[in-house]
Amino acid sequence: MNTITAAITAVGAYVPDFVLTNKALETMVDTNDEWITSRTGIKERRILKDEDKGTSFLAVKAAQDLLAKANIDPLEIDLLIMATATPDMPVAATGVYVATQIGATNAFAYDLQAACSSFLFGMSTAAAYIESGRYKKVLLIGADKMSSIVDYTDRSTCIIFGDGAGAVLFEPNYEGLGLQDEYLRSDGIGRDFLKIDAGGSLNPTTLQTVTDNKHNIVQDGKTVFKYAVTNMADSSELILKRNNLTNEDVDWLVPHQANKRIIDATANRMNLEDSKVLMNIEKYGNTTSATLPLVLSDFEHLFKKGDVIILAAFGGGFTWGSIYLKWAYDKK
């Protein structure tokens, strides 16, 4: 019996229509387009303005895009993994609702949360289910409505985050394509540097926590940046060495879209030319769990069967890592 590997066989994506530009942010906080662009590489981000719609709306749209493009019956899906840091609600898993909404009623579903590394960790999880031989179709969705937890008077966060969703389908492969290796890590030292203070069991919601604005994301930007640059670059370099890959072997780097300077540092460590580094940060900002699948969707037309792709991410907690993937199909 041939060895089963887990390959991505389809992708889908969705971003809201409303565009929040740097120019618009100039009217909201003390900042300007040049400052934002030079420090982050972000020019605009998409925002889901509908107050009655949450992360599930974004996820459903991305999943439906994938199913339509790949002509897949949702009843064939065995499992749906929902990678998100902004679930619709604390209890009642968002992924379960999404599975029902898209008609994947034969699937079981759950949420996975590892901040900006959620989708990367979800890839590892989805691949393990496929490699076990028990499941044939695993739908992994990365989606976040970051605007729901951003304070638009806080310059350190509101310029960075946007809303969006992306989805990939994992299926068995017998040609040695798909996920080849992974290097995933975490360190609780990051707990205090990128967080939401209230709303959990440690600091439950009260009138005081709402009054004190404790339910929005806050970060120590300099500390997060330092750890992100080091760990994303280290893990990407390590995955190459461990698999005897050189910069010439790598066709594409798909990095988490948090900050262009972090992406550049990772690419430099891998000694990659700019043409191999895929970025859409200027259009979407940091969509957290959605960044990696949005890149895969935006650049799917460039990928060829057998292409070597390195995916890398860094998130709060801290969480980080890299995955080595061989692309499994040519886009029709």
Instruction: Mark residue 288 as left, alpha or beta (left: phi above 0; alpha: psi -120 to 50; beta: remaining).
Output: left
Examine the domain organization and report whether 25 and 139 are in the same domain.
yes
What's the pLDDT at 77? 98
pLDDT recorded at residue 16: 98
158 is catalytic: no
Same domain, yes or no: 140 and 196: no
Range of the domain at 171: 5-177
Q: Name the DSSP class of 246.
A: -
The span from the CA of 259 to the CA of 119, in Å, is 17
User: Is it the case that residue 219 has pLDDT exceeding 90?
Assistant: yes
Residues with Cβ within 8 Å of 134's Cβ and at least 6 positions away in sequence, in order, are none
Q: Is residue 309 part of a domain?
A: yes
Does the active-site annotation cover 22? no
Q: What does the pLDDT look like over 47-86, one tens digit per residue?
A: 999 999 999 999 999 999 999 999 999 999 999 999 999 9
- In this structure, the answer to whether residues 134 and 13 fall within a common structural domain is yes
Distance CA 302, CA 332 (A): 11
Residue 244 is assigned to a structural domain of this protein: yes
Indicate if 170 and 183 belong to the same structural domain. no
The confidence score (pLDDT) of residue 1 equals: 52
Q: Which residues contact 332 (CB under 8 A, 6 or more apart)?
A: none
What DSSP line would sit under 42-81, residue for residue? --EEEE---TT--HHHHHHHHHHHHHHHHT--GGG--EEE
The answer on 228 and 149 residing in a single domain is: no
Same domain membership, residue 233 and residue 168 = no
Options 22, 158, 173, 256, the catalytic residue: 256
Task: Supply φ then ψ for residue 134, to 5 degrees.
Answer: -80, -25
Question: 118 with 19, same domain?
Answer: yes
215 among known catalytic residues: no
Residues 9 and 135 in one domain: yes
pLDDT at residue 2 in the model: 79
Write the CATH number for 184: 3.40.47.10
Per-residue confidence (pLDDT) for residue 102, from 0 to 100:
98
Q: Over pLDDT 70: what percentage of the chain?
A: 100
Residue 140 lies in a domain: yes
With contact defined as beta carbons under 8 Å apart, do 202 and 330 qualify?
Answer: no
Looking at 118, 151, 177, the residue that finishes a domain is 177
Mean pLDDT of 104-122: 98
Q: In what order do the strands lie in the sheet with 5-14?
A: 5-14, 163-173, 138-145, 79-83, 108-112
The tens digit of pLDDT for each residue in 123-162 reads 999 999 999 999 999 999 999 999 999 999 999 999 999 9
* Selected catalytic residue, list 22, 116, 158, 231: 116
Is there a single domain that holds both residue 194 and residue 227?
yes
Judgement on whether residues 90 and 14 belong to the same structural domain of the protein:
yes
Q: What is the mean pLDDT of residues 209-215?
A: 95
pLDDT at 332: 78
Whether 98 is covered by a domain: the verdict is yes
pLDDT at position 282: 97
Residue 332 maps to a domain? no
Whether residues 313 and 213 share a domain: the answer is: yes
One-letter amino acid at 159 equals: I
* Count of domains forming the chain: 2
> Same domain, yes or no, for 165 and 187?
no
